[in-house]
Each structure stands twice: as C-alpha cells, then as structure tokens.
C-alpha cells in the first residue's frame, strides 16, 4: 500500500521512524515533509522546506574557525570583494543588500530575524500535501503527525474526500476505519510513544470499512464537502 506521510517539526522524528517501519513491512512511502526537525528553514531558490546548509554547501564558521567570514566587535564593515564574501555589504551599504538570491546568511549578535528569509514550518502546509495526495489517489492512505494531531486533523478535513481521524489508541484506530472509513490518520507525537504509534498504524492499515449503516452516514458527510 502507498502511504503519504507528513509532519511538522514536532512530529518529524516520529514520521521518520514510521517511514522506516512501514517500508520494512512492504509499504511504499510518499514523504510529504517536513524534512528537518528544526522549527525554521532558510530556503534558497527551488529548495522548498529543507534546512541549510545541505550536503555539499559551504557551512558557516563556528567558534574557533577564524574571523574571516564575519566582522568582530569594533569592525565597521564586512569583507570586501576578493575575500570570498561578495554577498555581504561593505561600509555604507544597508541591510537590504543581503542575502541575494541563492545565498543565505545567519543573523549576527544583536540582529533580529526579520531581516532574513525565514520559512516557518506550519502544519497546514504538510496536512494539505498529504490530504491532496490521498484525494488525487497518489496514495491510498495518509498519516499526519504534529504535537497533538489536532491541527493536522482540522487542516486535512478541509480537503474534499478526506476523512481524517485523530487517534490515540489502537481501539480508536480500528473504529475510525470500521465506522468512518478514515483515509488519513492523525497522531500526536507528544502523546503517543513510537511503540504505540506502530500499533495504532498497524491496526489502522489492517482494518476494513464495515459498510452497512455507515455508508448512509458517510454519504451525508460527503454532501457537505
């Protein structure tokens, strides 16, 4: 079965663990992000939500690496052309001149975050990706994870044809499939252990829809979106 997985930064670790576990049981995994456990990413053109520096990129200097890249206290300007830091402004230039397209910079002491291209990790972005994958049949089922699962379930249920269920126990997982034909499972990483999450997902994937009287009820839900 092809499973779409999505999480915000709070659910990232559990998403990664479930992806490995699902693959070990023969399922195909569509990873809809996020791809970092950090709260913020600094994307370059075309990068999406991955945090930086990525493999192959030059990293920022840490303590003890020298002061060639950043000004120390008392310096009046950033390095000029010829020092390998052409993207930083020289004396007289304002903050608006950096970073340029395709470049990133970290704030120095005393600078706020507002001057830098910060991309927040917001759960609706990943909920919609997973929900649309299920809606468009790129995946048979979806699993979403945030700290509580509440926000993910609210967002996913805004997508037509998606029936997202917030589940904390294997029994609720079974009922969400038998009675509600849930096609997206929402988990709270702060409230279920990895072992419990695996049991929940296992039951949820194995359980079929009971049909019968439940078909009439789902038809009423479908009429409203």
State how far the Cα of 225 lies from the Cα of 221, in Å rounded to an integer: 7
Active-site amino acid positions: 146, 179
Instruction: Centre a 10 Å sphere on the Cβ of residue 224 and count the other Cβ atoms it contains.
Output: 6
Pairwise CA distance, residues 131 & 143, whole Å = 9
H-type helices in the chain, by residue range?
Answer: 12-24, 123-135, 150-156, 170-178, 194-206, 213-223
Burial of 141 (0-12, 13-18, 19+ CB in 10 A): buried
Digit-coded pLDDT (tens) for 3-42: 999 999 999 999 999 999 999 999 999 999 998 887 544 3
Tens-digit pLDDT profile for residues 185-225: 999 999 999 999 999 999 999 999 999 999 999 999 888 86
In tens, the pLDDT along 166-187 reads 999 999 999 999 999 999 999 9
Task: Tell me the CA distances in angstroms from 15 to 113, 137, 167, 194, one per residue in order.
Answer: 28, 21, 15, 10
Q: What are the structural domains of the chain?
A: 2-35+123-223 (3.40.1400.10)
- Return d(Cα 119, Cα 40) in angstroms, integer: 6
């Amino acid at each position: 079965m092809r499973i779409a997985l999505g999480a915000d930064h709070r659910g990232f670790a559990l998403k990664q663990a479930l992806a490995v576990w699902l693959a070990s049981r023969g399922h195909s995994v569509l990873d809809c992000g996020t791809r970092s456990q950090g709260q913020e990413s600094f994307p370059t053109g075309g990068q999406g939500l991955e945090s930086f520096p990525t493999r192959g990129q030059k990293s920022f200097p840490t303590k003890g690496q020298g002061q060639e890249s950043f000004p120390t206290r008392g310096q009046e300007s950033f390095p000029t052309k010829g020092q390998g830091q052409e993207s930083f402004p020289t004396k007289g230039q304002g903050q608006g001149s950096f970073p340029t397209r395709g470049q990133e910079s970290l704030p120095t002491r005393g600078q706020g975050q507002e001057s830098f291209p910060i991309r927040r990790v917001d759960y609706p972005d990943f909920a919609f990706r997973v929900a649309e994958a299920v809606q468009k049949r790129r995946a048979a089922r979806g699993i979403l994870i945030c700290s509580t699962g509440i926000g993910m379930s609210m967002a996913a249920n805004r997508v037509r044809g998606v029936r997202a269920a917030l589940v904390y126990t294997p029994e609720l997982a079974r009922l969400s499939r038998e009675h509600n034909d849930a096609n997206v499972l929402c988990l709270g990483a702060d409230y279920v252990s990895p072992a419990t999450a695996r049991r929940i997902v296992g039951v949820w994937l194995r359980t079929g829809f009971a049909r019968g009287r439940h078909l009439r009820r789902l038809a009423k839900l479908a009429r409203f979106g």
